[in-house]
Every structure is written in C-alpha cells, then in structure tokens.
C-alpha cells in the first residue's frame, strides 16, 4: 500500500440512526491527523469525544465534525476527514450494492444471499469426508452440490483444503484434483459456484472451470500472486480477516479492540486490493468469525456486525456449526448445532450481514427470511 493510502483516516460508524433527521453520529476514527485538536474543536461545538485504544470516538453531526477539522487544519484536513466519514455514514444507513458475477447477479442489495458449504475434504471440522470419497469422486460431491442448489442455495462454495483450527496445508496439485472437476460439473448444471482457496493457481483454474467467485480466508497473505490473479480474473473476491494461519490461528489470539482492529485491517486491505487492480465493487468483506478469535471475540464481532457495513461492501458471515457456538450452548457435536447456527445467522442478518456461508441451507433460508423482514420492516 502506498504511503498516502496508509495515512488516510479510517471511519467506522457505531451509530448513525439520527443522521437522516439532522442528528449526530457516533464514529470511531483511526489515523486521524491532529486528532486531539479536532476533539477539542468538537467539544467547543457541543460534540462529545473520547479515546478508545488509540481511536478517537466522536459523537457529533458529521458536517459539524468536518467543520471542526477545518478550523484545526484548514480545507485540506476537512476534505481528508469528509472523504472518510461521509461514505461510511452513507453505507451504514443504506444497503450494500448487488454483487455482479460471471454467472449472474447476486441480489445483496435486496436480501440475504445463501452460500452453501461443500467441503471436498477428508478433514473439515463438521463434514470432513461426507462429500469426498476417492471411489466416487467427483460424482459424490457433485450430487451434494446439486442438492444444496435445489435446497435454495444461491451459491455453492467448493473447498478442497480444510481451514479448521490446526488443519494441515494441502498441496496445490491435490487441491486442484479435489475441486476442479466438481466446479466444472456444477457450473455446467447452472450452479453459481465459489471456490474456497488461498492459492493463485487454484483460483485461476477454478474460474476457468466455471467458478464465479473466489473466497479466500487469508486476504492474500498465503500466496503473493493471489491478489494480482484476482485483478486479472475480474471475479468477485471475498476478503476475510484471519490472524495467523489455520494451523496457528487459535494459539492464544489477543486483541485490545477486536472490532476496531479487524475493521481497520479490512479497510486497509480494501485499499491494497484497489491498488492491485481489483474492482472495489467486486469485493465482499468477512470479519472472519472463528479465525484467530476467542469465544468472546466472536460474540463481540457478531454483536457489532452492523459497524462493518460502514465499509460499503456486502458483509459475509460464516458462523455455521462453529465451535464457539457449542462453547456457549454446551453442544459438542458440530452436526447437532443447527439451532445455534440458525440463531447466529438470524442475528447476523439483523446486524447487516448479506451473505451467509452455511451447512443447513433450507432451514437457514427460512430463518433469515424472518430476520430480514423484521430488520427492514
């Protein structure tokens, strides 16, 4: 990322419900030049500001906040802050755009989109081996993918490498062997397919085989060629936060402010993607629930999911059957966590989530249809 981009302020909306009526918003601001002076100017204009983990949290009418920056640093500082605050508030108040894919439009502006999980692996945490048998590959997985579509999945997410905590990496050749024939056959049946991979070559060949999205848990960190490949392919890309790797991510993860740190990471990565040539309109963001977070971190991210809509991109949430849900409910068997998963999915939609990566497709679709109806009534 260039120096100018890395020095831009980052605005995260905590609440802007009163803005349409001329009221204040509560904003968390990172990397804001002359922040202490702006805080003083906000206070003189009857605003409120505090400091939280190095971020300035301001409650003020957005236009007055920008005016305060202007009094401190002139037009240049006012413009810099306005360029961060106004889009964030507008995004928090509005709906995300639809997601255009080579296989058609995903209506993320209108309703939650269901992404069905199809793990073509022997070791995924919930369904490892259920859809992967060398004697019946790829037929077994293709049957499962078609069943997900018939059950109401908008997208089928095909992955050939487990990302469960402690998972061992899979080499490129084996991952290609697992996923490419499944993707080719499913896309031939009219299924909108995403490929769950961290590898540039797998992503490229998957798209050539018919995949319409790339879902990457690593934000490009595990393959230096992946982001350039995404830019070249021109397909939608899921940008996710993960601390460490699947093998190491649950080794004592710590955050001073999990929401702030994950948000700032995603904001920076969006700029990095744009610099790499990726169309910002084709990026989905995912806070990475379960990836390098404790139970408390995951619950906090889910509770405050609405704040991530400030980034102006559709938000994907993957909580289905995850261990943190079992830690809360006491259910040890991932396959028996449907109630927990449906509850988390409904809460995610109520908080602004627009893509849900799930195992239990028909049940989730019904549950989130209610959550979405209530949230948008």
Among 164, 282, 337, 357, the one annotated catalytic: 357
Q: Cβ(215)–Cβ(236) under 8 Å?
A: no
Whether 303 sits among the annotated catalytic residues: the reply is no
Inter-helix orientation angle 295-303/258-275, to 10°? 70
Q: What is the pLDDT of residue 133?
A: 73
Whether 293 sits among the annotated catalytic residues: the reply is no
Contacts of 180 (CB under 8 A, 6+ apart): 205, 206, 209
Q: For 96, phi and psi rounded to 5 degrees?
A: -70, 160
Distance of alpha carbon 353 from alpha carbon 344, whole angstroms: 11
Q: For 97, phi and psi rounded to 5 degrees?
A: -75, 160
Q: What is the pLDDT of residue 132?
A: 64
Domain boundaries 99-375, corresponding CATH code: 3.20.20.20
Contacts of 136 (CB under 8 A, 6+ apart): none
Residue 338 is classified by DSSP as H
Closest residue by Cα to residue 227 from 257, 200, 252: 200
Q: Which two tokens stand for residue 253?
A: 């993860």
Q: Which two tokens stand for residue 206?
A: 């998957």
Task: Say which residue the tokens 């024939």 belong to.
Answer: 181
Domain boundaries, the chain: 3-93, 99-375
Q: In degrees, to the nearest 5, what angle opens at C-alpha 237 toward C-alphas 304 and 142?
A: 105
Q: Cβ(270)–Cβ(249) under 8 Å?
A: no
Contacts of 336 (CB under 8 A, 6+ apart): none
For the chain, what is the radius of gyration of the CA atoms? Answer: 21
Distance of alpha carbon 255 from alpha carbon 241, whole angstroms: 13
Let me know how long the chain is. 377
Distance of alpha carbon 229 from alpha carbon 233, whole angstroms: 6
What's the fold here for domain 3-93? Translation Initiation Factor Eif1 (3.30.780)
- Tell me if the bond preceding 138 is cis, omega within 30° of 0: yes
Beta strands in 120-246 (DSSP E): 155-159, 193-196, 213-216, 237-240
Closest residue by Cα to residue 196 from 163, 171, 170: 163
Among 12, 111, 185, 322, the one annotated catalytic: 322
Q: Within 10 Å of residue 370's Cβ, how many Cβ atoms?
A: 12
Q: Residue-wise over 284-308: b if at least 16 C-beta within 10 A, else e?
A: bbbbbbbbbbbeebbbbbbebbbbb
Query: How many CA atoms lie within 13 Å of 269's alpha carbon, on the beta-carbon side?
Result: 25
Hey, do 3-93 and 99-375 end up sharing a CATH topology, with the first three levels equal? no
Q: Within 10 Å of residue 240's Cβ, how many Cβ atoms?
A: 23
pLDDT tens string, the chain, 377 residues long: the values are: 555 566 799 999 999 999 999 999 999 999 999 999 999 999 887 889 999 888 999 999 999 999 999 999 999 999 999 999 999 999 999 999 999 999 999 999 999 999 999 999 875 555 555 666 776 788 999 999 999 999 999 999 999 998 777 667 889 999 999 999 999 999 999 999 999 999 999 999 999 999 999 999 999 999 999 999 999 999 999 999 998 777 776 777 899 999 999 999 999 999 999 999 999 999 999 999 999 999 999 999 999 999 999 999 999 999 999 999 999 999 999 999 999 999 999 999 999 999 999 999 999 999 999 999 999 99
């Amino acid at each position: 990322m260039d120096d100018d981009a890395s020095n831009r302020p980052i605005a995260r909306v905590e609440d802007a419900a009163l803005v349409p009526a001329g009221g204040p918003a509560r904003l968390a601001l990172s990397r804001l030049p002359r922040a202490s002076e702006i805080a003083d100017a906000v206070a003189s204009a009857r605003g409120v500001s505090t400091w939280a983990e190095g971020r300035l949290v301001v409650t003020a009418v957005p236009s007055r906040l920008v005016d305060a920056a202007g009094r401190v640093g002139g037009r240049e500082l006012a413009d810099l802050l306005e360029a961060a605050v106004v889009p964030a508030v507008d995004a928090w108040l509005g709906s995300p755009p639809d997601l255009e894919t080579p296989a058609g439009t995903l209506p993320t502006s209108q309703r939650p989109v269901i992404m069905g999980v199809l793990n073509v692996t022997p070791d995924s945490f919930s369904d490892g081996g259920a859809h992967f048998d060398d004697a019946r590959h790829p037929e077994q997985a293709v049957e499962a993918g078609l069943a997900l579509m018939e059950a109401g999945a908008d997208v089928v997410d095909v992955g050939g490498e487990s990302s469960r905590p402690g998972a061992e990496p899979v080499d490129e050749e084996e991952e290609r062997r697992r996923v490419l024939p499944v993707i080719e056959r499913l896309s031939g049946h009219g299924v909108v397919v995403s490929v769950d991979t961290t590898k540039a070559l797998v992503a490229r060949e998957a798209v050539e085989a018919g995949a319409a999205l790339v879902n990457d848990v690593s934000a490009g960190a595990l393959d230096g060629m992946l982001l350039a490949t995404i830019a070249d392919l021109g397909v939608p890309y899921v940008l996710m936060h993960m601390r460490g790797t699947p093998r190491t991510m649950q080794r004592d993860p710590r955050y001073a402010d999990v929401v702030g740190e994950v948000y700032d990471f995603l904001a920076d990565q969006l700029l990095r993607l744009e610099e790499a040539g990726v169309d910002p309109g084709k990026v989905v963001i995912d806070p990475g629930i379960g990836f390098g977070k404790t139970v408390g971190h995951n619950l906090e991210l889910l509770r405050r999911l609405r704040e991530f809509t400030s980034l102006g991109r559709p938000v994907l949430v993957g909580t289905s059957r995850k261990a943190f849900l079992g830690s809360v409910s006491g259910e040890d068997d991932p396959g028996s966590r449907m109630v927990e998963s449906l509850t988390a999915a409904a809460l995610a939609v109520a908080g602004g989530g627009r893509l849900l990566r799930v195992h239990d497709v028909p049940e989730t679709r019904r549950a989130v249809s209610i959550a979405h109806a209530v949230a948008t009534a």
